[in-house]
Amino acid sequence: MNLKITEEGKMNAIRAAVRPGENVRAAAYGQLITVKAALLYYMFGALGALLAGAKTRNGFTILTDNTVKIVCMNAFDMTKVDDVFEIPFNEFKKVKYKKPKFGSHIITFKVNKTTYKLTLFKNAGKHIQNQKENVEVFSQFFDNLKNMQKAS
């Protein structure tokens, strides 16, 4: 059992998600939750989110040339991958990016009919190489995507 967020876990996430020939632009640790579940969590605490069937998914977000991959890590062993979601750039709708507060970068977006909140942590742990730099790459990517959607 390994509850620490480590470089080994990040590399396992990249190996599980990235296909040969894909270029990894950034990989950062974060947390993904549906907005409906997040609202219930803030209103009623963990019990409200639990009753709504909410799951907070911890893992790594990977930016490639054409997609964003969300790699959910095992809750009891952060070196094991539970699930991988791949989102092509053109499937992101209603992207909102909030400037960082206390080292957390918050991105809200919609895919299909579900709205998600992705929180990337600049200070996720001393055991992950280039976490701060990778979070900045994601922040710039989502900020650019938000601005392109506004212009459309």
pLDDT at 43: 53
| 120 burial type by CB count under 10 A (0-12 exposed, 13-18 middle, 19+ buried) | buried
The pLDDT mean for the chain works out to 83
pLDDT at 35: 67
Q: What is the pLDDT of residues 133-152, one digit of tens each?
A: 999 999 999 999 988 888 87
The pLDDT confidence band at residue 54, using thresholds 50, 70 and 90, is low
Dist. CA 67–CA 86, nearest whole Å: 7
Dist. CA 64–CA 50, nearest whole Å: 33
Q: Would you call 35 helix, strand, or coil by DSSP?
A: helix
Dist. CA 54–CA 78, nearest whole Å: 20
Q: What is the pLDDT of residues 60-106, one digit of tens each?
A: 999 999 999 999 988 888 889 999 999 999 999 999 987 777 778 88
Domains and CATH numbers, the chain: 7-151 (2.30.29.30)
The pLDDT confidence band at residue 41, using thresholds 50, 70 and 90, is low
Dist. CA 63–CA 83, nearest whole Å: 16
Name the token pair of 8. 């080994």
Q: What's the pTM?
A: 0.84
